[in-house]
Amino acid sequence: MRLTLALLAVITLTIGTETLSAEPASISSKTPIRLVHSIGDALADANDKRFLRSHQVPQADDDKVENGDYDEERIKADKLANLIAGRTSTQFTKWKNKGYSVDKIDEKLWKHIQGKTLSKTDLSNILRWYRDVL
């Protein structure tokens, strides 16, 4: 038993001294330079608050949702009801002035089909009417 305890003490001491090193950690030579700079910047900014979304001042755009989600553009419910009813001249004029293509309008309105506020036949009618305006 004494031999086992002595052997365990020797192994512990040799392993313990191997893991402690006085040399500072270095970055591998295979690490790209831009990654080294980004790591350094991240460490330097550790005390600063970080935001996942950048703070942008909203522009006066009638097609955007009012809840602050500017990545997903949608049309408001009253404008959608006007489009379905056929009162399209003002909205089509805005889209035409912004240079929106039929594909862009299809992309914007498709989100309303997924949300069940617009049917596929209504979408095809709106796109057909917009093609006639262009």
Mean pLDDT in residue range 94-107: 86
Q: pLDDT band at 65, cuts 50/70/90?
A: very low
**In a domain? residue 125:** yes
DSSP letter at 55 equals -
Structure-model confidence comparison of residues 9 and 73, the more confident one: 9
| The pLDDT of residue 93 is above 70 | yes
Tell whether 34 is covered by a domain: no
Residue 62 within any structural domain of the chain: no
Give a yes or no: residue 95 inside a domain. yes
Is 39 contained in some domain?
no
Give domain status of residue 85, yes or no.
Answer: yes
- Express each pLDDT in 12-43 by its tens digit: 888 766 555 556 666 555 555 544 445 455 55
Report yes or no on 86 lying in a domain.
yes
Evaluate if pTM is beyond 0.75: no
Q: How far apart are CA 117 and CA 89, in angstroms?
A: 21
Q: Into how many domains does the chain fold?
A: 1
Residue 117 CB contacts under 8 Å (≥ 6 apart), including other chains: 77, 80
Where in the sequence is the domain holding 124, given as residue range(s)? 77-133
Those residues whose C-beta lies under 8 Å from the C-beta of residue 111, and which sit 6 or more positions away, are: 72, 74
